[in-house]
Structure 1
């Protein structure tokens, strides 16, 4: 399924992938093509917090995995599909409810089937997670 353009609210004009039930539950997470490359974002809600009232590490890692694909979306063509084969991250800071979470990064190398990506997630502009990953480009959607 193609991405869906959000028509209302804070993220109007951004894209979501409505066919990914986990991302819709964990996020929803949004993507757009910005002036300096792909941008991913979401607003931190209570459901994203741990017991101490800070963003849950699993939420950050889920968003980072989403961001890997947003950053590499051009390199994933022609099918647009891929899978994560490696992922690393370092926690830099926490974030509180209401923060605007954003991710940006770059594709370091796109080979025949492997794509190497790195990026940073910020909370209201403050770096809170550094991440990198390797994606394997698929010829068609997994399970097809």
Structure 2
């Protein structure tokens, strides 16, 4: 999959994947790289909220899954693909509507077929969820 560049708005210049129907529906989620590494983000909108007035846990988990691959993106430059094998999450606090939700993380180990990633999600710089997971890397069959 080839990322597209957002051409306008708050995330102008950031990458996103419009051919990911679920992420486009639940997000959209964006990715860029700065001097500290990969950062992902989205603006918490009404559609992301649960009945309690905070970002729905399923939305945050979807964002964490997006970030697993965003953080490990360089591992797929060879044309390989990946699927999430495991993902662990810990909710720390809620994110409110209008908040800038961001994430950073790191690859903790990269093997031939398995990549391990961990990260943290923030709401306006407050930690709201930690996550870790593993990705199974494979070469698509022709």
Q: What is the TM-score normalised by the length of structure 2? A: 0.96
The answer to whether the Cα contact below 8 Å between 1:73 and 1:80 also exists between their aligned partners in 2 is no
Q: Distance in 1 between matches of 2:90 and 2:116?
A: 17
Moved over 3 A (4+): none
State the secondary structure of the residue aligned to 2:75.
coil
RMSD of aligned alpha carbons = 1.2
Partner of 2:67: 67
Deviations 1:33-56 (A, max 9, x none): 111111100000001000011111
What residue in structure 2 maps to residue 101 of structure 1? 101
**Number of the residue aligned with 1:38:** 38
Secondary structure at the counterpart of residue 96 of structure 2 = coil
- 2:27 — aligned with what? 27
TM superposition shift of 1:138? 1.8
TM-score, reference length from structure 1: 0.95
- Aligned residue pairs, count: 142
Q: Structure 1 pair 28/80, CA: closer, same or farther in 2 (3 Å)?
A: farther
Q: 3-state SS of the aligned residue for 1:66?
A: helix
Could you tell me which runs of 5 or more consecutive residues in structure 1 were left unpaired when the two chains were aligned.
none
Shift in alpha-carbon separation, 1:126–1:3, aligned structure 2, 3 A? same
Distance 1:123 1:138 in 2: 33
Cα distance in 2 between the residues matched to 1:93 and 1:80: 35
Q: 1: CA distance between counterparts of 2:38 and 2:102?
A: 11
Partner of 2:77: 77
Other structure's SS at 1:116 match: strand
- Compute the displacement of 1:140 (Å): 2.5
